[in-house]
Structure 1
Amino acid sequence: MKKILELITEEFEKAFEKAGYDKKLGKVGISNRPDLCQYQCNGAMAGAKLYHKAPIMIANDVVETIGSNTMFSSVEAVNPGFININLNSAFVAEYLNNMEKADKFGVENEQEKTIIVDYGGANVAKPLHIGHLRSAVIGESVKRIVKYQGNKVIGDVHLGDWGLQMGLIITELKERKPDLVYFNENYSGEYPAEAPFTISELEEIYPCASKKSKEDPDYKERAQHATLQLQSGYAPYRALWQHIMNVSKTDLKKNYDNLNVEFDLWKGESDAQPYIPGLIDDLVEKGLAYESQGALVVDITQEGDSKEYPPCIVRKSDGAALYATSDIATLVEREKDFNPDKYVYLADKRQSLHYTQFFRVAKKAGIVKPDSELVFIGFGTMNGKDGKPFKTREGGVMRLENLISKINEAVYDKIMENRSVSEEEARKTAKIVGLAALKYGDLSNQASKDYIFDIDRFASFEGNTGPYILYTIVRIKSIIEKYVAENGSIDDLSVTDTDNEEQLALMLELSKVNEVIENAAIELAPHKICSYIYDLSNAFNKFYHSTKILAEEDEDKKKGYIALISLVQKVLETCIDLLGFEAPDKM
């Protein structure tokens, strides 16, 4: 389905061509002066140089050619050569009715792609903390948006489940519970199915072991040896590692579920390890990897770079692989399993160099196809009101479940201020609205920007917040429920033309949805959807306050109103689903 701007532009391209000018000058955009017109065409200004003619003369020629086109209510040339455009409300109503019938509101996809979104990155044996929030929330939304556009999308949590942290946990377990069969060299039976620790114990063991390793060189050496044994396939430690994985995944899934975040794959760094030896051999055979100060490196600087990039280290001098090696090996695995057209990675923007390095090695070595897209979305920091990274009152890193609890409590307090529901119902609603407050508060910012996490502002039912968007949806639901209760039917209704200024403004805002979603998918930018639904909610509320929807005596008008706000509800609910949250029935 063509976008409304495309349809308007087509008419102006024809008009420019008919008037004797290049059709490319007919591009139309949304007016930057909505008080004067809805859309504008500035092609006459550019045409002045091409045709050595005053822009107002060109604009007048085009307006004359447009004539009495029923698409427009007015087309006017104004000095020094702008063309102001207003649409006929009957045309907009017809467009909305066609959009409502179209699949996905007319959102289209030029070419279906297989896309892998890598957006988890949590480490096993550790609780999720607020540092994991942005990756999960932005990644989930990006995944949903590009999937909605019509792509095959695979989301991977890509766990940090390999390396020294595992050796540290095993070493600490051996100190605390030396009698476990995993530490008995003479044990030859099957290993227990039950883990010898809980998630709470595990989360306490790792930081304790990490602290010891920094203070005790002998302890660190034992941990490194345990890591080597694990990675060499030592059966007892592999069995312990599997317990760590199972217990951690169960807890991580619970926490990601609380964020309404889902992954198609629960793979980790360990899955890439079998591919590393072949990868190293391939890089050496192709003459890309060479030895530098005992390490194996690959140069990544390219012609045209504005700065010199350090080479990518793929093997340390002691023979160990690095994160970059693991990430490149993961690409080898993903190419074999999925042959994707595009990769999207989410991580703190301070990791930009790491992604530049392994992306370039992958391209240089032919690990991914020449036309494969490798995209890094580097996000900014979530800061407290003091402008510094958000912390607990004690100065520590806040657990994600505690952050969710805090914002749910803030929403609950606001609901109870105007108590009209039971406490149980308020708690249930607060959980839904709290998630919207949290996610919208994050997603409404451009990913690369740092932002201030303000619970009071995010939980507000007014302003540019998640709760305000949900309140708008709930308001529409309430109107439609009352309409149905008055024996009204919402089947086979159509949006109708209007002379109501606020209604037309709402209709025009609604008509943008397909273009907004397509742009958000192309640019991987959830904040564009946030901005749109805020504008749409504002347009609806202005219409609501200026129009007696249910009290309208003209039955045809009333049906047109209900058709319009029903479509607003559908669009808003679709968009918040793309952002990863939902609306309650009441607020």
Structure 2
Amino acid sequence: MKKILDRITEEMKGAFTAAGYDATYGKVTLSNRPDLCEYQCNGAMAAAKDYKKKPIDIANGVVEHLKDSEIFEEVSAVMPGFINLKIGSGFLADYMNGMRTGEKLGMEPAEHPETVIVDYGGANVAKPLHVGHLRAAVIGEAIKRMGRFVGHKVIGDVHLGDWGLQMGLIIEELKERQPELCYFDEGYTGEYPEEPPFTISELEEIYPAASAKSKVDEAFKERAQEATFRLQSGYAPYRAIWNHIMSVSLKDLKKNYSNLNVEFDLWKGESDAQPYIPAMIDDLVEKGLAYESQGALVVDIAEETDTKELPPCIIRKSDGAALYATSDLATIVEREQDFHPDHYIYVVDKRQDLHFTQVFRVAKKAGIVAPERKMDFVGFGTMNGKDGKPFKTREGGVMRLENLIADISEAAYNRIMENRTISPEEARETAKIVGLAALKYGDLSNQATKDYVFDIERFTSFEGNTGPYILYTIARINSILKKYEAVCGTPKDPVILPPEAEPEKTLMLALSRFSEVMEAGFEELAPHKICAYIYELSNALNHFYHETKIIAEEDKEKQAGYIGLVTLTRSVLTTCIGLLGFEAPERM
């Protein structure tokens, strides 16, 4: 089922051709004056120059060929040469019924399906998830789901920070605390224990303590660096500790990501890329791309079209250590080998812009990926408190993500209990769903690159552009359908009829743009466009509800048509919130 804009544009192009003009002038857009028309075409303005005619004469000629169109109920040419379009009620009803009965609400699958890697998450093992991890997880999950919905094979990778000095710090701190452990007995030759020598709570306390100690105790830091080197060289006792760290951390990370309704296909980390690094560096050197500069190995990435100076990408430091760029490039080598992706998407803090510019350019320059490979960096802004600074706890520390989720669920619970329409027990369960919706929608409704203020009062409001408002709209539809079933029984394939009034048509016009929004949302990697769409759709539904007697309608065919329309609206809303990564309760 074609997008409605494509159907309209085809009709307009045919009219331009029939009037003797090139079809390319028949481009149609959504009207920027909805008080005058629903869609518009400005092609006559552009054609006037090429055909040396007045725009209004061209517009009038095109309009003449649309007077019998089944798509439009009104077409008019207005000075100086705009063509205003209003969609026909019969065509619109047919389109609604096509959506109602079609797979994926009538959306056509991607013409050229791609394999897409979405790299998001980026948590470090041995550390709890905190508010700084929220945006990568929420935005990345939405982009992954959006890509799958439009027809691509999308693979989500958490890309853990599980390698480097942090591991050596943990090992050395553990050695100081529990020197009797077999991992630190040079003469031990037995099997290493299956049970880890620490809990997740202990592990999360060990790392910050070790990190703080390394800043004031140079000898401790040097021992940690040596432990890191031994681990990375394959020293069996330290590998055993590392396996314990990974096991304990992954279990906790999976639980916390699950609480956010975020799932990964791959739980890969920096450690997985390490085997690919030596050969990759050798290849860069052999190709003459990598050279020594002040003892480090670097690759130039500057291009003639750059508007500012870009520094070389450091592949190996002067002490022989690899960097994040090295690991990220090696990860691309691994992904090319395992998945042959058509498209890479990295969802990371926007302050990493230079880093990914360097990585992408080196990858293409070195032939790790093809020059035409799509590589996108979705850099996001920070989540700030009301003071405009990065969000902190009342004590000034970084808030754990599980505490943030608990706080917003509590706020949602208090909102729900203000109405006192459900029991406290049901309100608690509902609050978990509403709280997550408030949190995710509050984040995703902002353009990713922009910073935003985390305002728990505004995010949990049942009014305005919020997640709870969207859920409340769905709950309202559920209530309408229950009332209808109580009076008339379960609706049997209710056919949507042509709209007779403005609220009904406005709702249909909003619904008709579903496929267009889904495609554009993924193409532009912009979940905020879906948020804007479902807010508009919710407003249209609520306007229709207030202006239309649905349950009291005596014409049963017309009433069934209304039921079909609100049912379709619910399907579109629930599909969209599913793509954004949250769900709706049955009632609120």
TM-score relative to the length of structure 2: 0.99
What does residue 148 of structure 2 align with? Answer: 147
Match of 2:464 in 1: 463
Shift in Å at residue 381 of structure 1?
0.8
Aligned to 2:29: 29
Kindly state the Cα deviation for residue 47 of structure 1 after the two structures are TM-superposed. 1.7
3-state DSSP of counterpart to 2:65: helix
Separation of aligned partners in 2, 1:394 and 1:492: 57
Q: Secondary structure at the match of 1:497?
A: coil
1:488 aligns with 2:489: yes
Paired position in structure 1 for 2:503: 502
Query: What SS does the aligned partner of 1:344 have?
Result: strand
Post-superposition Cα deviations, 1:195-216, rounded to whole Å, max 9, x if no partner, equal 1101111111101100110001
Equivalent residue, structure 2, for 1:573: 574
Map 1:54-453 to 2 at 5 A.
Answer: 54-107=54-107, 108-453=109-454
Unaligned runs of 5+ in 2: none
Question: What is the alpha-carbon distance in structure 2 between the residues aligned to residue 472 and residue 10 of structure 1?
Answer: 34
Could you tell me which residue of structure 2 aligns to residue 42 of structure 1? 42
Quote the residue 1:536 is aligned against. Answer: 537
- The DSSP-based 3-state class of the residue aligned with 1:486 is helix
C-alpha separation in 1, matches of 2:301 and 2:72? 55
Aligned-partner Cα distance in 1 for 2:90–2:400: 53
Letter in 2 for 1:315: R
The CA distance in 1 between the partners of 2:489 and 2:36, in whole Å, is 38
Q: Match of 1:320, as an amino acid?
A: A
Q: Using the alignment, how far apart are the partners of 1:11 and 1:401 within structure 2?
A: 53
Distance of 1:454 and 1:552 partners within structure 2: 42
Report the residue type matching 1:448 in the other structure: T
Q: Matched residues in 2 for 1:491 and 1:331: separation? A: 52
Query: Which is worse superposed, 46-55 or 423-432?
Result: 46-55
Aligned to 2:11: 11
Percent identity between matched residues is: 70
Partners of 1:80 and 1:399 lie apart in 2 by 59
Amino acid at match of 1:81: G
Report how many residues are paired: 587
2-structure distance, mates of 1:62, 1:216:
81
CA RMSD of aligned residues (A): 0.9
Q: Matched residue of 1:66: which SS? A: coil
Deviations 1:318-340 (A, max 9, x none): 11111100010011111111111
Distance 2:103 2:270 in 1: 39
Is 480-489 or 554-563 further displaced after alignment?
Answer: 480-489
Deviation at 1:372, TM superposition (A): 1.5
Code of the residue aligned with 1:28 in structure 2: it is: V
Amino acid at match of 1:572: L
SS of the residue aligned with 1:264? coil
- 1:480 maps to a residue whose letter is L
Paired with 2:16 and 2:280, the residues of 1 have a C-alpha distance of: 58
1:32-68 deviation line (CA, Å, top 9, x unaligned): 1111111111111112212222211111111112123
Shift of residue 531 of structure 1? Answer: 0.4
Distance 2:62 2:3 in 1: 22
Q: Secondary structure at the match of 2:488?
A: coil
TM-score by length of structure 1 reads 0.99
Q: Distance in 1 between matches of 2:425 and 2:531?
A: 30
Q: Please report how far the alpha carbon of residue 13 of structure 1 lies from its aligned counterpart in structure 2 after TM superposition.
A: 1.0
Task: Give the superposition deviation at 1:105.
Answer: 2.2
Matches of 2:347 and 2:526, distance apart in 1: 12
Which sections of structure 1, spanning at least 5 residues, go unmatched? none
Please say which of residues 385-394 and 44-53 is displaced more in the overlay. 44-53
How far has the Cα of 1:70 moved from its partner?
2.5
SS of residue in 1 equivalent to 2:21: coil
Q: Which moved more, 1:409-418 or 1:368-377?
A: 368-377
Deviation at 1:16, TM superposition (A): 1.3
Structure 1 distance, partners of 2:421, 2:62, is 59
- Which residue type is aligned with residue 371 of structure 1? E
CA separation in 1, counterparts of 2:284 and 2:46? 52
State the one-letter code of the partner of 1:106.
G
Cα distance in 2 between the residues matched to 1:383 and 1:61: 55
Residue type matched to 1:500 in 2?
A
For 1:289 and 1:203, the matched residues in 2 are separated by 39
Q: What residue number does 2:553 align with?
A: 552
* Deviation sequence 1:495-538 (CA, Å, 0-9, x none): 11122110000000000000100111111111110000000000
For 2:580 and 2:211, the matched residues in 1 are separated by 37
